[in-house]
Chain A
Amino acid sequence: MSDKVVPIIKLYDYLIVPIQIELDDITVEKLQMQLLNEISAKEARGIILDVSMVDVIDSYISYVLSETAAMAKAMGCHTVICKIQPNVALTLAQMGIKLENVYTANSLESALEILNQLD
Chain B
Amino acid sequence: MLFLSNEIEQFPVIEIYRVIVELLEEKRMEAENKIAELREVLSELSTPVIHLWKDVLLAPIIGTLDSQRAQSMSEKVLNAVSETGAKLVIVDVTGVPLIDTIVGEFLIEMFSAVKLLGADVILTGIKPEIAHTLVKLGIDFDMVNIKRDLESALKYAMEGSAAGKSLG
Chain A residues near B (Cβ < 8 Å): 82, 84-87, 89-90, 92-94, 98-99, 103-107, 110-111, 113-114, 117
Interface status of B117 (Cβ within 8 A of chain A): yes
How many chain B residues touch A (CB < 8 A): the figure is 22
Flag if A84 contacts B166 (CB, 8 Å): no
**Contact assessment for A94 and B109 in the assembled complex, using a CB-CB cutoff below 8 Å:** yes
Which chain B residues have a beta carbon within 8 Å of chain A's beta carbons? 74-75, 78-79, 81-82, 85-87, 109-119, 166, 168
Q: How far is the CB of A98 from the nearest CB of chain B, in Å?
A: 8
Shortest CB distance B109–A (Å): 4
Query: With contacts A86-B75, A86-B82, A87-B75 known, is A92 near B116, CB below 8 A?
Result: yes
Chain A residues near B113: list those with CB within 8 A.
86, 89-90, 92-94
Alpha-carbon distance between A109 and B50 when the two chains are bound, in angstroms: 23
> In the complex, are the beta carbons of B75 and A90 less than 8 A apart?
yes
Smallest beta-carbon distance B138→chain A, Å: 11
CB of B109 within 8 A of CB of A90, answer yes
CA distance A92 to B87 in the complex (A): 20
Whether B166 contacts A104 by the Cβ 8 Å rule is no
A114 / chain B contacts, CB cutoff of 8 Å: 118, 166, 168
Bound complex: CA A111 to CA B115 (Å): 13
* Cβ-defined contact, B166 with A93, below 8 A: no
Partner of B81, one of A82, A103, A106: A106
The chain A residue sitting closest to B114, CB to CB, is A89
Chain A residue numbers with a CB within 8 Å of B74 are: 90
Chain B residues with CB under 8 Å of A98's CB are 112
Which residues of the partner chain B approach A103 to less than 8 Å between Cβ atoms? 118, 168
On chain A, the residues within 8 Å of B112 by CB distance are: 92-93, 98
In the complex with contacts A86-B82, A90-B109, A114-B168, A105-B75 CB distance below 8 A: no
Kindly state the separation between the CA atoms of A106 and B74 in the bound complex, as whole angstroms.
17
Q: How far is the CB of B38 from chain A (nearest CB, A)?
A: 27
CB distance from A106 to the nearest CB of B (A): 4
Question: Given the complex of chains A and B, what is the CA–CA distance between A90 and B105 in angstroms?
Answer: 12
B110–A93 touching, CB < 8 Å: yes
**Complex Cα distance A92/B75, Å?**
13
Is A105 touching B118 in the complex (CB atoms < 8 A)?
Answer: yes
Let me know if B115 and A104 touch, CB within 8 A: yes
A89-B89 Cα distance, complex, nearest whole Å: 15
Report which residue of B75, B87, B118, B119 has the largest number of chain A beta carbons within 10 angstroms of its beta carbon: B118
Residues of chain B lying within 8 A (CB to CB) of residue A84: 116-117
Are B166 and A86 neighbours in the complex by a CB distance under 8 Å?
Answer: no
Assuming the contacts A84-B117, A90-B113, asked whether A107 and B85 have C-beta atoms less than 8 A apart, the reply is: yes
Residues of B within 8 A of A110 (CB): 85, 87, 118, 166, 168
